Structure 1
Amino acid sequence: MGLKLLFICTGNTCRSPMAEGLARAMFGNTIQVSSAGMEAWEGKNASPHALDILKEQNVDISNHRARRINDELMADADWIIPMTQAQEEALKRFFPRHVHKIRCLGDWGNQKQDVRDPWGGSIEIYRQTAQEINELIKVLKSQFPNV
């Protein structure tokens, strides 16, 4: 399998698992997709709202278990894709040897955009976040025309 994408958020229970599921659905088996969190509690399930929102789109992330970012995960990925500019900067500070492959999800198009954390919000906020992530993944996919 070719390209390996690693989506990053804070706890690896909302944004990055949704991005992982949506990217897997969009790219199919042409790439490898995974996720991790900057401050993840190892083994935690995806948030119930994230599960429900993706289920509405026929994307199943029920087997997701949170994991904390580490150098091994960073080294294995071709692209490390955090949800915010602040996470991008932190990852570049903590993992300087991987700076060349860290790029915020909202920075693949012409805009610099952070994906807001829906944690603790209503199901509608999760729905908006999933829609935003899906649109940004479409932009990301357009950068890899041969995939």
Structure 2
Amino acid sequence: MFKNTLILCTGNICRSPVAEAFLKRISGESTKVLSAGVNTKDCALADDTCIELLKQKGIDITGHRSQKLSSELLVSADLVLVMEKKHIEEVSRVYPEARGKLKLLGHWQRNKEVLDPYKKSREVYMYAVDLIEELTNDWKPYLQ
């Protein structure tokens, strides 16, 4: 059981806030879930299309603000879920001590990756959001 989960993507405005919202919904109060970006600025708003698509699923992420990955976030996490294999490589290069905590969000589906929908078509966003929802559900038994 993981009590502190960190979700990472590149900018912390699309994929990781979506995954954070879905994980919070399925884990309830039993798990602390945060998200961050490996290459972002602090305090950017969530992507408008992601906000809209999640609103259709009954989830409000309008209050989300991006944050940059830090050693403090990594130390406090029991599990770090990433969207792409390149994120594992990037984080491991800067924070080698975190390597054992890093897993793809799609770990339970043959290490499926979630590609970045940023600035792509609405259909690409819809696919990413639906995929993230599916992949986060695979983690439910490990977060409660």
Q: What is the CA–CA distance in structure 2 between the aligned matches of 1:139 and 1:21, rounded to whole Å?
A: 15
Instruction: State the secondary structure of the residue aligned to 1:7.
Output: strand
Q: Aligned AA for 2:15?
A: R
Q: What is the CA–CA distance in structure 1 between the aligned matches of 2:86 and 2:74, rounded to whole Å?
A: 17
Instruction: State the secondary structure of the residue aligned to 2:59.
Output: coil
Matches within 5 A, 1:1-147: 3-107=3-107, 109-142=108-141, 144=142, 147=144
What is the CA deviation profile of residues 36-93 of structure 1, one whole-angstrom value per residue up to 9, with x for unaligned ones? 0011111000000010011001111111000110101100111111100110111111
Q: What is the CA–CA distance in structure 2 between the aligned matches of 1:27 and 1:60, rounded to whole Å?
A: 16
Unaligned runs of 5+ in 2: none
Cα distance, 1:128 vs structure 2: 1.1
How many residues are treated as equivalent by the alignment? 143
Q: Which runs of 4+ in 1 moved over 3 A?
A: none
Cα distance, 1:110 vs structure 2: 4.4
Q: What is the CA–CA distance in structure 2 between the aligned matches of 1:56 and 1:4, rounded to whole Å?
A: 27
Instruction: State the secondary structure of the residue aligned to 2:74.
Output: helix
Q: What is the CA–CA distance in structure 1 between the aligned matches of 2:33 and 2:110, rounded to whole Å?
A: 23
Instruction: State the secondary structure of the residue aligned to 1:29.
Output: helix
When normalised by structure 2's length, the TM-score is 0.94
Cα distance, 1:122 vs structure 2: 2.4
Q: What is the CA–CA distance in structure 2 between the aligned matches of 1:40 and 1:111, rounded to whole Å?
A: 28
Q: Aligned AA for 1:141?
A: K
Instruction: State the secondary structure of the residue aligned to 1:92.
Output: helix
Of all paired residues, the percent bearing the same amino acid is 31
When normalised by structure 1's length, the TM-score is 0.92
